[in-house]
Amino acid sequence: MGVKEAAASLKSGKPVLLFDSEDREGETDLVFASQFADSSAIRMLRKEAGGLVCVAMPYGIAEYLGIPFMAEVYRNSGMKIFDMLNDRDVKYDTKSSFSITVNHRNTFTGIPDNDRALTVMEFSHVVALAARKDSRAVDEFTGNFRSPGHVHLLIGDKNMIVGRRGHTELSLALAELGGLVPCTAIAEMLGEDGKSLGKRDAAEYARRSDLEFVEGKEVVNEYLKRRQGWDIQQ
């Protein structure tokens, strides 16, 4: 098990299990490359993982498409209630990666597996266009999606894993290492008791399911080696 194997699995359309770190959330997410997140993938995220199904994109893509962090939407609304509902007391991080929610316009309610799969996969197509600075990206996004919806968008940190090492950034780094569209579909793994699935149990689930399990520190190490030419362990 390792980063290269996990990236290869994502590239083949299979999911991987990604643990962030003991000193952060201490949680494992089930991760798909969004370009392969068909209805069976959404069903797996919903039933086998159980947490909130979200779609992550890099900061630069969100900026190109004009998609804001939800905290910015609240802050710019001028409504007092959002000042009182601030998230400055989150214990595992200093900021949220949550953005707006969307549905593809060709969905009905937007929540069934096939509806969310359409939203996720078509959004991945928009991200692919935006990554190439294709001028069609914004028109395809605004023309083919509506908000609010049932798919939660997440935005990575401007400095990626140098600035934040949540599942958003880690999964995007893994997608980049695999040469994939920089867009991932993720959900937290929950146990039968309704609590976050422990690291050992998540690794065992991966073993039983013939899936790759990878730790965030391994992704960080490989990503920084590729991008900056040095190993953070040295």
On whether residue 65 sits in a domain, the answer given is yes
Confidence band, pLDDT 50/70/90 cuts, at residue 230 = very low
Active-site entry in 38, 150, 176, 201: 150
Active-site entry in 5, 22, 86, 92: 92
| pLDDT number for residue 232 | 39
Q: Which two tokens stand for residue 187?
A: 């959900």
Query: Can 223 be counted among the known catalytic residues?
Result: no
Tell me the residue range of the domain where 130 lies.
3-228
Query: Can 222 be counted among the known catalytic residues?
Result: no
Query: Can 188 be counted among the known catalytic residues?
Result: yes
On whether residue 91 sits in a domain, the answer given is yes
Per-residue pLDDT tens over the stretch 153-190: 999 999 888 888 889 999 999 999 999 999 999 999 99
Query: Can 92 be counted among the known catalytic residues?
Result: yes
On whether residue 24 sits in a domain, the answer given is yes
| pLDDT number for residue 68 | 97
The answer to whether the beta carbons of residues 69 and 115 sit under 8 Å apart is no
Query: Can 29 be counted among the known catalytic residues?
Result: yes
Active-site entry in 20, 29, 115, 157: 29
Per-residue pLDDT tens over the stretch 41-60: 999 999 999 999 999 999 99
Q: How many domains does the chain have?
A: 1
Active-site entry in 20, 25, 27, 54: 54
Query: Can 64 be counted among the known catalytic residues?
Result: no
On whether residue 234 sits in a domain, the answer given is no
On whether residue 170 sits in a domain, the answer given is yes
The answer to whether the beta carbons of residues 131 and 182 sit under 8 Å apart is yes
Distance of CA 143 to the CA centre of its chain: 23
**Is residue 233 predicted with pLDDT exceeding 50?**
no
On whether residue 233 sits in a domain, the answer given is no
3-class secondary structure, 137:
helix
On whether residue 156 sits in a domain, the answer given is yes
Q: In angstroms, what CA-CA distances link 170 with 74, 89, 202, 224?
A: 26, 23, 17, 12
For 39, how many CA atoms within 13 A lie in the half-sphere containing its CB? 7
The answer to whether the beta carbons of residues 30 and 48 sit under 8 Å apart is yes
**Is residue 2 predicted with pLDDT exceeding 90?**
no
CATH number for position 174: 3.90.870.10
On whether residue 198 sits in a domain, the answer given is yes
